Chains A and B, each alone.
Chain A
Amino acid sequence: MESIVAVSNLEKTYASGFRALKSINLEIRKGEIFALLGPNGAGKTTLIGVICGLVRPTAGTVVADGHDISKDYRAARATIGLVPQETATDMFEKVWDTVSFSRGLFGFPPDPAHIERVLRDLSLWDKRDSKIAALSGGMKRRVLIAKALAHEPRILFLDEPTAGVDVELRRDMWAMVRRLREQGVTIILTTHYIEEAEEMADRIGVINKGEIILVEEKQALMRRLGKTKVTIGLKQPIASPPAAARGAQLALSPDGLTLTFTQSGEGADEDGGVAELLKQLAADGVDFKSINTERSSLEDIFVDLVGNVP
């Protein structure tokens, strides 16, 4: 698939000597939603900062939509929209004015019809003449998104777009991101909410301590690293677990009343391991009272990944 952002051997060492990015290589595909996950201080915001022009790289190159971000910064930046993490807004400006300002700043002629579309899409149309200072926190965040979309970017960076945002607005934003993707915009988002990446992303990148430790399709990642855990509560204690089902890990609690069946890797819960086990139990005449299935979330996968890095 065609790549739209190519990061090669990117390094960033701050004046303090802190190495925020260590030889990052990353390709973002055209039209995808890419989620960049990582704990606090992992380098997410620095990486976005370099691509968008806020941070000067120490070494390495970034090509955005075919333009080198330092040699050909005008063309590169004109295709990129950035929604920053912090809600920094011009408090005394009106919504319409500040969004129009952003369009001009990025070198585009005025287009009131486009601004209207953006404001309507973000449910800001009624607030177009309000001063930003008078808006709620969630509305201010929408204004930041509107500003980033004012110049019709092909690549949109959302740095923690839903941090501190209520559930309704979060759902709205997800819907908006999907709409943008349908229009062909490539979206790169960083997030703390793994549920967000799970819900939205096509591919997931995990960054930790300045290094990309994994980039993978979300589905493949969840298949490969996902786990299925089935807990079976027995009516009568048994002395030893029954003959284990294929490749499964079976554990019996000390009191002999709980069987825990864990299956990991590709195709977990699809190859009928649980069904085999239940048949086995029935054949052995073991009666059970409860059965509980848990599928590991991206969050568990993430915690495992980041926790395992020395």
Chain B
Amino acid sequence: MNFHAIRSIYMFEINRTLRTLFQSIASPVLSTSLYFIVFGSAIGGRMATIDGVSYGAFIVPGLILLTILTESVSNASFGIYLPRFTGTIYELLSAPVSVVEVLCGYVGAAATKSIVLGLIILATARLFVSFDIAHPIWMIGFLALTAVTFCLFGFILGVWADGFEKLQIVPLMIISPLTFLGGTFYSIDMLPPPWRTVALFNPIVYLVNGFRWAFYDIADVAVGVSLAMTLVFLVVCVCVIAWIFKTGYRLRT
């Protein structure tokens, strides 16, 4: 195990984030604040409570996840795509590192950023609405698990993409719609029966559900199922990445 390499890659990525601090932190915080103002305060005030939770508080976990998912995918994909694009990847490929060091470095840094971002948004949300967290340890656990999983997914995207367009299109056209339709702003119980079944095929539903349970102890589907689905997705991502490194797909000719 090459710990110096992990530290180098990790710090390189963290420094890249710090260089673009405003874009990295300020813009997601700003957009989340706008959601709270519009949905939480303006519209939410006219809405009934859901399972005994005020609407403003109800959307907090979903909104945090919305940011975590899109930011995790963008950051992790960009982190590995950028060296591929500029050609500096030659150094990583010629270095005495395996998939383990590469993942710990790139995915670890991207996930760290996502988790910090999630906590900042949580603190921001607290300024707009009041809420209590029922299971704080589980909340952090789900946050970390989701961040790591989607950073792994982002890493795959960054290896697969052969242009900036593909890099942006996946978070924009796939992750965002799935998150919006995954119960970020509503409980899937509010959907008519056929749509409720359709929604269960959306993996984001399980993430939002588990995360919301950690906050308010309410859930549309069993929390165990949420946890299992997230872990399955994580394992699938790890297997795909292991395959990428084994075959050299899009990395080594």
Contacts and interface: CB of A to CB of B under 8 A. Distances in A.
Q: Say whether chain B's binding surface is mostly helix, strand, loop, or mixed.
A: helix
B92 interface: yes
B9 interface: yes
Interface stretch (A78-86, A262-270, A271-279): A78-86
Interface string A18-43: 00000000000000000000000000
Contacts of B95: 77, 105-107
B88 A88 contact: yes
Interface stretch (A51-59, A118-126, A210-218, A302-310): A51-59
B7 interface: yes
A74 B96 contact: yes
B253 A97 contact: no
Chain B: interface residue count, which band?
20 to 34
A73 B94 CA distance: 9
Contacts of B90: 54, 82, 84, 88
Interface residues of A, number: 36
B2 A53 contact: no
Nearest to A97: B15
Most B Cβ at <10 Å: residue of A52, A74, A84, A92: A74
A56 B87 contact: no
Interface in B77-125: 83, 86-88, 90-98
B15 to A, nearest CB: 7
A144 to B, nearest CB: 9
Contacts, number: 82
Interface in B1-40: 2, 4-5, 7-9, 11-12, 15-16, 19
A257 interface: no
A107 B2 contact: yes
Contact of B93 (A53, A76, A101, A107): A53
A261 B222 CA distance: 96
Given A86-B87, A88-B86, A89-B86, A54 B9 contact: no
A108 B3 CA distance: 9
A163 interface: no
13 contacts: A14-B253, A53-B94, A55-B252, A77-B95, A82-B94, A84-B90, A88-B86, A89-B86, A89-B88, A105-B91, A106-B95, A107-B4, A109-B4
Interface of B: 2, 4-5, 7-9, 11-12, 15-16, 19, 83, 86-88, 90-98, 248, 252-253
Given A78-B96, A90-B83, A107-B95, 14 more contacts: A53-B93, A53-B94, A54-B90, A56-B248, A74-B98, A84-B90, A90-B88, A92-B19, A101-B12, A103-B4, A105-B4, A105-B95, A106-B96, A107-B96
